[in-house]
Amino acid sequence: MGKKLKVGKTRKDKFYHLAKETGYRSRSSFKLIQLNRKFQFLQKARALVDLCAAPGGWLQVASKFMPVSSLIIGVDLVPIKSIPNVVALTEDITTEKCRQALRKELQTWKVDVVLNDGAPNVGANWVHDAFSQAHLTLMALKLACDFLAKGGTFVTKVFRSKDYQPLLWIFQQFFKKVQATKPQASRNESAEIFVICQGYLAPDKIDNKFFDPKHAFKEVEVQAKAIKDLVPLKKPKAEGYTDGDLTLYHTFSATAFLKADNPVDFLSKANEINFDNPELESHEATSDEVIECCRDIKVLGRKELRLLLNWRSKLRRYLAKKLKDEAKQLDEDIKKKKKLLKERRKQRERVALKMDLPGVSIADGNDSSMFSLATINKAKALCEITKGDMKLADAMVEGEEDLYFSDDGDSDEVSLVSDLDDDDLDEIIEKQKEMAKDKATKKKVSFSVEKEDEEEEEGSGLIVELEGKEEKRDRETSMWFSKVCRTHARARIMNAEGLALGCQIATSKKRARDLVDGSFHRQDYSEDQCEVPEWFVDDEKKHRNKPIPVTKEMVEEYKAKWKEINARPIKRVAEAKARKKRRVRERWWNERGKARSRGGKIIQWGKKVFSQPPIVQVLSLKKMREYLVT
């Protein structure tokens, strides 16, 4: 029988051999590789701190997956063998000295990732070891909060114990996203799990109680409910009839049903619903079936009860809309009354100041004025106007305390001369009745009060224009053509001297300034031009103007350019020549094809193209022979 070798906790598994083959210092390197494969936090990191980093397996993975120019720092109590592009510190992460050493290495940098794979020395007491590991994780979080950049990542190892939930709650206060996972490289029998905290919030102020183990891992006593609290002490009274209710038959009104807060409870208590409002009973939603259902509620089923509830909803919507319309109409009536009172008050003030006659407002500038000719439509109306309406004058003569009614039937408003007493109301009503009878027998002159947008209408036939239609048309035409039309000045073409002068102005500021200064001289304008003949003024212009400071070579150069431009044919001529040339070429190719088919050749005589048969060609060649005799 072979000898059995004892392997402690199956430590030499496949990841142990893989670490030996790939050159990693510990099998935990594959834990970080698997975590990074899932969360992708090493590829974008520029600075990283590994706490409890010995023997350096996680540092090897970080230097492999992070960019080349990244800053990587490892901290542990045990010295770490040198790794390329890695700074190793031998410090205790729970001391202030470690924080100062990290600040010295980082200077003004903030790290993107903080790793923690630390664990205490495991002893016989598992509870003590779990608390020590939670305390170590809390210290690592405190160190990470000092150096992590906003949005950074914190990866730590946690043992599953009673302190796991408090730690998870603390992580959630500092990071946006907290996830717990167990990589495949971690043994199943191990109590370790890894927590990945992403999106560091970077608060401005942190309470120290978060990092105090006594406060963070404080046990909260949950008081369990006693059995006596679960069992009621007193038996409830049996449900029966309502106290003080002497009648078992209850009748309610339809209005009460509509106003009820809980219609279901209302129907459970009611036996009959009476219609106290005829409007509700005559509503289109109140059908015969609804009326029959309201007579006996207790015998109704679920369908009928739902019918009553729907009927209630329709009536409530109808009443709400009606109340809204009534409120709107009331507001309009109030506005009209206020406007009428305001007009009456203004009228009294004008009468008191003797600005208007009683019952007549001079300030009324509308087209419905008494003296407006636009309101007269017919000749009979003009005759009636010339007779005059003496009722107003009679009212003014009889006394100021009187009321005048106009014969205008289009408006129902009353013209108030002064305030009336209550005793005069009967007399006013009688006068209105008499005038209503007169309307049927007498023709009236209508003074139409129109809206502002209809004021500009055609005048009546009584208004005669002073000029005829043709004269008016001619006057409007002459006014139209007398308007000054805007003309856009066309750009003038400059000559060679102007182009040369413009070139000097554009290329030299000094020359431009000298030209402007030289244009002002005493011979530029003459005060006595009107006293001399025109031929003398024209002759003097040749000698008054100073010569333009332009060389002859520049002028000749621009003239040559103009000649070159003018020598070019215009587009129309060039196109005609091209068409003619194309036609000649096409004819030549056609004749060439014909000649080849007959065995002849093409002869071009001047501008004409024609073909000859072979015999004619031979004869022509014989005639064209020339002999040279030496």
Distance (Å, whole) CA 369 – CA 378: 17
pLDDT tens-place string over residues 171-192 = 999 999 999 999 999 988 888 9
Fold held by 8-216: Rossmann fold (3.40.50)
Q: How high is the pLDDT of residue 593?
A: 81
| Helix, strand, or coil (residue 72) | strand
Q: Is 58 annotated as a binding residue?
A: yes
Tokens of 41: 């936090």
Q: Is 112 annotated as a binding residue?
A: no
The answer to whether the beta carbons of residues 173 and 212 sit under 8 Å apart is no
The residue assigned the tokens 């369990």 is 224
Listed residue (59, 75, 155, 82) closest to 112, CA to CA? 155
Instruction: Name the residues annotated as catalytic.
Output: 157
DSSP 486-532: P-PPPPPPP-HHHHHHHHHHHH-HHHHHHHHHHT--TTS--TTGGGS
Q: Is 76 annotated as a binding residue?
A: yes
Distance (Å, whole) CA 219 – CA 262: 48
Give the phi and the psi of residue 192 in degrees, each rounded to 5. -80, 145
Answer yes or no: is pLDDT of 626 > 80. Answer: no
8: confidence class by pLDDT, cuts 50, 70, 90: low
pTM of the model: 0.39
pLDDT tens-place string over residues 430-488 = 766 676 666 555 444 444 444 444 444 444 454 556 667 788 888 888 777 766 555 55
pLDDT tens-place string over residues 337-348 = 999 999 988 888
Answer with the residue of higher pLDDT: 467 or 325.
325
Neighbouring C-alpha atoms within 13 Å toward the C-beta of 338:
6
Q: How high is the pLDDT of residue 213?
A: 86
Tokens of 218: 């404080």
Q: Is 207 annotated as a binding residue?
A: no
Tokens of 382: 């003009």
The residue assigned the tokens 């409910």 is 225
Q: Where are the domains of the chain?
A: 8-216, 246-355, 373-441
Q: Is 50 annotated as a binding residue?
A: no
Neighbouring C-alpha atoms within 13 Å toward the C-beta of 231:
4
Residue 71, beta-bridge partner list: 47
Distance (Å, whole) CA 97 – CA 68: 29
